Amino acid sequence: MAVQKSGNSGINSTQSDNVNVEESFVYVKFIIASSDNANFGIILLKISSDRCEVETIDAVYGLRDARGQSVKETDSWTNCYEYIAKKKFSSEFNAKLTTDLINTVTNVLRSPSHDNSVVREIIGYHEKKNLNRIRDMVFSEISRILFDKHLILNVDTEFILLHEVEEFMNKKTTRDAPEKEKTIAAADNFFVLKDGGTLIPCAPLLGPVTGVPIFTLKAGQEIMIRIDNTSELGNKYNNYFNLIDEDGKIRPIKARIAAIKSDNEGHKLLVHIQESIYGKIVETEQIKVKLFAEDEDQAEKTDNAYRLYLVIGIVFALVVSILLVRLFFG
């Protein structure tokens, strides 16, 4: 049996171990309006109130809609989510400032001690309905990157259970399925390999917090992907690259973006995996994609080796200097 947790944020310290408590989230909605009323934007945070971690950060910012379409902080999180998606797919937004907003809020939420203390503060302010404190946490940084000290920033929060999120996403998937099929069919011409080669269906590895917005990706960047295992071809290459682990899960691999196209129908990425093997990605959601990063352990080993060689070199130079001094002045 799933039960809602008590309190505004859903935190209950007296629950029985025999009760299956449903996961919950706090959605934080920041509505931004420039002081001259020409620009409008929204930032939507999804925070796990159980783990005190940010699940996703999404945003959109640009010229105010001439048709007067907008959202308020008191609107539901689903309305805010839909508004962001529609604005991005219509390309009616400022991509650079939108990315800057996402990065800025991400940095504000990152605790120096890596203990999620900033996120815990937000959950605490949500419980007490102290929305001004949440606003104050980000106002100066947002006004700085938008060069607008007098911008209007309104905030509201919303407590949501996991089944409500899943219900909305399932309905949206069903509703958007016919349109997505059209998008995939229309993308076929984009994925024609002029010099031959093998094309495999793939999916990008998501990075809700540390990833980059898909609409900012460029050819030449390296991203993390998974080869789709639902097709015979995908299954063949997952075995060829030895990507299936003991639990049957598909390990991600890196791929370089060979070509990318974004329009009202979504995002199409042609990625180069290895030699004449390419990956095909079609994405209709505004996701954040995990970039490939060099192995940090290997980088640390290289750095430690460099330091060791440096110490040895210094000691060797010191010994030679002493010997020379004794040779000429001894």
What integer is the mean pLDDT of 69-78? 90
Q: What is the mean pLDDT of the chain?
A: 82
CA pair distance 43, 72, nearest whole angstrom = 11
**Whole-angstrom distance between the N-terminal and C-terminal Cα of the chain?**
89
- The pLDDT of residue 298 is 47
Alpha carbon 79 to its chain centroid, in Å, reads: 20
Who wins on pLDDT, 37 or 222? Answer: 222
- The pLDDT of residue 121 is 94
Answer whether 64's CB lies under 8 Å from 45's CB: no
Who wins on pLDDT, 160 or 283? Answer: 160
**Does position 4 have pLDDT exceeding 70, yes or no?**
no
Q: Residues with Cβ < 8 Å from 3, sequence gap 6 or more?
A: 19, 20, 21, 22
Answer whether 44's CB lies under 8 Å from 31's CB: no
**Does position 315 have pLDDT exceeding 70, yes or no?**
yes
Per-residue DSSP letters for 295-323? -HHHHHHHHHHHHHHHHHHHHHHHHHHHH
Backbone angles phi and psi of 15, in degrees to 5? -75, 150
What integer is the mean pLDDT of 53-58? 90
**251 is written with which tokens?**
């390990």
Answer whether 88's CB lies under 8 Å from 58's CB: no
**What is the per-residue pLDDT across 75-114, written as a single tens digit (0 to 9) for each?**
999 999 999 888 877 767 888 899 899 999 988 988 676 6
- The pLDDT of residue 303 is 53
Q: How confident is the model at residue 158 (pLDDT cuts 50, 70, 90)?
A: very high
Quick one: DSSP state of residue 241? T
**What is the per-residue pLDDT across 194-232, written as a single tens digit (0 to 9) for each?**
666 788 889 999 887 778 888 888 899 999 999 988 888
**Does position 176 have pLDDT exceeding 80, yes or no?**
no
CA pair distance 94, 96, nearest whole angstrom = 6
**Span of 3-7, 174-178, 197-201, 238-242 with lowest mean pLDDT:** 3-7
- The pLDDT of residue 322 is 80
- The pLDDT of residue 214 is 87
**What is the per-residue pLDDT across 227-277, written as a single tens digit (0 to 9) for each?**
988 888 888 888 888 888 888 888 999 999 988 888 766 788 999 998 888
**What is the per-residue pLDDT across 122-156, written as a single tens digit (0 to 9) for each?**
999 999 999 999 999 999 999 999 999 999 999 99
Answer whether 40's CB lies under 8 Å from 65's CB: yes
